[in-house]
Amino acid sequence: MKKILILSFTVLLIVSLATACAPKSTPEAESMPETTVATDATEPTTMPTEMNDSSTEDMPEYFVYTANEGDATVSVINMSTMKVDATVSVGEGPHNVQTTPDGKYVYVVENKNGTISGIDTMNNSIAKTINLGVGPSHIVFSEDSSKAYVTVAEMEEDAGMDMSAEKTLGNVYVVDLQSDSIITKVPVAVMPHGLRLSTDVYFFNPKSCRKQNMWRIYST
């Protein structure tokens, strides 16, 4: 009788321990979708639906224009396919590209040519080229796309880097994009480079490469 009781107690103890040590299932764990991580590049990977939609088919079609200074071209990249749709030949030393606010043109600042060229975004061809001074760098536009503001060094870049050479003050050119003519030149400092419109669109700020100065210029 004692042997039977001891055996029954032993079996009960083993069952209790096995139940207590078993992994517990929670509602959260039961409801989680299956995730299979591939251990080899050839094996498929199953991920939750919300994490598996990496297709570019649903991306809106838009383009990036990038200047290639070395070969005097601008690449037009279709971001929905991540491929180059067109390559546009431009003037020497394309440095900065910016889109007009109305989206009709992408202007390229051709540093070594002393020009800016407008690419028609409908067909990616050069629609116009406007002559400026020596060494233009950056361009911004008025809100209505009627005017452009371009920093121009008025000297070659190599001369600007020579500390002992006599320096020429640069200008910001105000360009009428309707008549393709220069409205005025605003003197700034040596080698003006980048510039941005302020948020109120009444001022723009050219930045000098040689001097740590910034100018605020009234644009109307």
The ranges assigned to domains in the chain are 63-218
What does DSSP assign to residue 121?
T
Q: Binning pLDDT at 50, 70 and 90, where does residue 135 land? A: very high
The least confident of 85-99, 127-141, 149-163 is 149-163
Spatial distance between the Cα atoms of 204 and 173, rounded to a whole number of angstroms: 12
Which residue would you say has higher pLDDT here, 119 or 14?
119
Which residue would you say has higher pLDDT here, 112 or 14?
112
* Furthest CA-CA distance within the chain: 116
Q: In what order do the strands lie in the sheet with 73-78?
A: 63-68, 73-78, 83-89
Residue with tokens 């994009």: 177
Mean pLDDT of 149-175: 78
Query: What's the pTM?
Result: 0.68
**Does the pLDDT at position 41 exceed 50?**
no
Strands 147-152 and 136-141: antiparallel
- Distances from the Cα of 164 to the Cαs of 135, 160, 209, in angstroms? 19, 10, 16
What is the per-residue pLDDT for 161? 55
What is the per-residue pLDDT for 99? 96
At 12, give phi and psi (nearest 5°): -60, -40
What is the per-residue pLDDT for 219? 61
What is the per-residue pLDDT for 202? 45
The least confident of 27-31, 51-55, 59-63, 190-194 is 27-31
User: Can you give the C-alpha Rg of the chain in angstroms?
Assistant: 33
The least confident of 34-38, 87-91, 109-113, 200-204 is 34-38
Mean pLDDT of 37-45: 35
Task: Return mean pLDDT, the chain.
Answer: 74
Q: Binning pLDDT at 50, 70 and 90, where does residue 207 land? A: low
**Does the pLDDT at position 7 exceed 70?**
no
Fold of the domain built from segment(s) 63-218: Methylamine Dehydrogenase; Chain H (2.130.10)
Q: Binning pLDDT at 50, 70 and 90, where does residue 190 land? A: confident
What is the per-residue pLDDT for 26? 45
**Does the pLDDT at position 1 exceed 50?**
no
Residue with tokens 């700020």: 205
Whether residue 180 contacts residue 130, with contact meaning beta carbons closer than 8 Å, is answered with yes
